Structure 1
Amino acid sequence: MTSSVQDVLLVPADVQDLLFREARTANTFSPEPVSDAQLRAIYDLVKWAPTSMNTQPLRALVVRTQEGRRRLLPHLAEGNRAKTESAPVTVVLAADLDFHENLPTVFPHAPNAKDNFTDEAAREKVATLNASLQIGYFILGVRAAGLAAGPMTGFDAAGVDREFFADRPWKSLVVVNIGKPGENAWRERLPRLGYDEVVSTA
């Protein structure tokens, strides 16, 4: 990307690189720990990003103990287990299917807002869509903290839900390893579609 194009954006070029151009999905991690303070800072930043009606269905399970890892690993695709074992922290990101129960506090001016979500199937669709948006923001937040994210969808979501969320209305969507990249962390970068291949005008 030329400097003239970079200058169109308000965010400095080095921040653009940190969040997008030079950021990669990590497949190995160093033993440097990830603190609860870092995870809190990431969430406290990305919680402000937009969703439909400002709903906030994203829920997160932080897995950092050996016992938690022992329970999680069998539900991951075989190719995802070694990197998860090496990551200092792994977060299961899920959608709360009862997110609407929090709407009266989200919308103090509309105390009956949750009445819009009485249909269970429609509510799950809203929860999944908006939690997925929040997952994208979360990954950018991890990068903004100077950490690498390794998001994975290769896992048995139903198994994870039974293992960890049997008593909660949470539906797991993505598992993300987080930490400083280790040796040989990056695979070859695949090409991206260009603007003219993606964008049309009506």
Structure 2
Amino acid sequence: MSESQPESPVPVSLDGSSPDQTVRAGSTRRDHDAAPGDARALSPALDALALDRLFRQARTPIGWSARPVERETLVTLYDLVKLGPTSGNCCPARLVFLTSDDMKKRLRPALSAGNIERCLSAPVVVLVCHDPLFFEHLPRLSREENLRNWFAADVGLSEETAFRNGSLQGGYMILAARALGLDVAPFSGFDGYTIEDDFLSDTGWRINFIAGLGYAEAPPQVERAMRLAFDEACLVL
């Protein structure tokens, strides 16, 4: 006889709040209706310099300077990443920072040939991972009492949730790093099983992607590759 699954808990938003915690029933208040003095009453857009740093002028580095990335910077980076929204505040991302030459050399056999030099020359190589058992932390991360049991009873759902939200947090990491003045080079050419066997076997974490982290040696001299236009990539329905 199959084990019955727990009843689905109250739906949660990406910031971990249930709908009635975000906007109470019958209320039409939004951030722009916040009371005077409330921080939400002022939400100006970022200025041009910030948008340039995060998006318009940000480029994937092709070489790295010798400037080191301090441990305190990595702590600050994670403290920004963890604030980004995830479903039910599940926070499945796990980051492994490879900073020593020995650890980077261990990574070499797992990398595609074209990624070896640019990846391993970075001051820090980040293994962006997710924890399939993220739900074990939900009793202290989420306000929803049944959320842990809900995910524990459905392996497919928990794996999908871990990968999707871990990917979100990986994106937050790239933007947070740029906001801190760092440059980031993401890589997807690698043997994930080799990485998991060599670096993650004691944790049970799964690898998503790799990123080089540091300070660019010089801005890329080639023009930015094309992107799809709004009408090619978006629908407004």
TM-score (norm. length: structure 1)? 0.91
Structure 1 segments of 4 or more deviating over 6 A? Answer: none
Task: Give the superposition deviation at 1:185.
Answer: 4.6
Is the 8 Å Cα contact of residues 26 and 186 (structure 1) preserved in structure 2? no
Task: Give the superposition deviation at 1:49.
Answer: 1.1
Task: State which structure, 1 or 2, has the greater radius of gyration over its C-alpha atoms.
Answer: 2
Task: Give the superposition deviation at 1:187.
Answer: 4.9
Mapped pair 1:138 → 2:173: yes
Task: Give the superposition deviation at 1:192.
Answer: 1.1
What does residue range 123-134 of structure 1 map to in structure 2 within 5 Å? 123-134=158-169
Bigger CA drift: 120-129 or 185-194? 185-194
1:177 is aligned, of 212, 223, 227, to 212
- For 2:105, the equivalent position in structure 1 comes to 70
1:13 is aligned, of 48, 57, 72, to 48
In 2: Cα distance, 1:48 partner to 1:168 partner: 23
Instruction: Say if 1:95 and 1:29 are closer, same or farther in 2 by CA, change over 3 A.
Output: same
For structure 1, the 5+ residue unaligned runs are 1-8
In 2: Cα distance, 1:27 partner to 1:187 partner: 10
- For 2:150, the equivalent position in structure 1 comes to 116
Question: Given residue 78 of structure 1, which amino acid in structure 2 is its aligned partner?
Answer: A
1:56 is aligned, of 91, 95, 101, to 91
* Larger RCO (CA within 8 A; separation ≥ 6): 1
- SS of the aligned residue for 2:128 comes to strand
- For 1:164, the equivalent position in structure 2 comes to 199
Identity of paired residues, percent?
A: 36
Question: Given residue 153 of structure 1, which amino acid in structure 2 is its aligned partner?
Answer: S
Q: How many residues align?
A: 193
Question: Given residue 61 of structure 1, which amino acid in structure 2 is its aligned partner?
Answer: V
- For 2:134, the equivalent position in structure 1 comes to 99
- C-alpha root-mean-square deviation of aligned residues, in Å? 1.5
- Give the number of the structure whose residues are more often helix, by fraction: 1
For structure 2, the 5+ residue unaligned runs are 1-43
TM-score (norm. length: structure 2)? 0.78
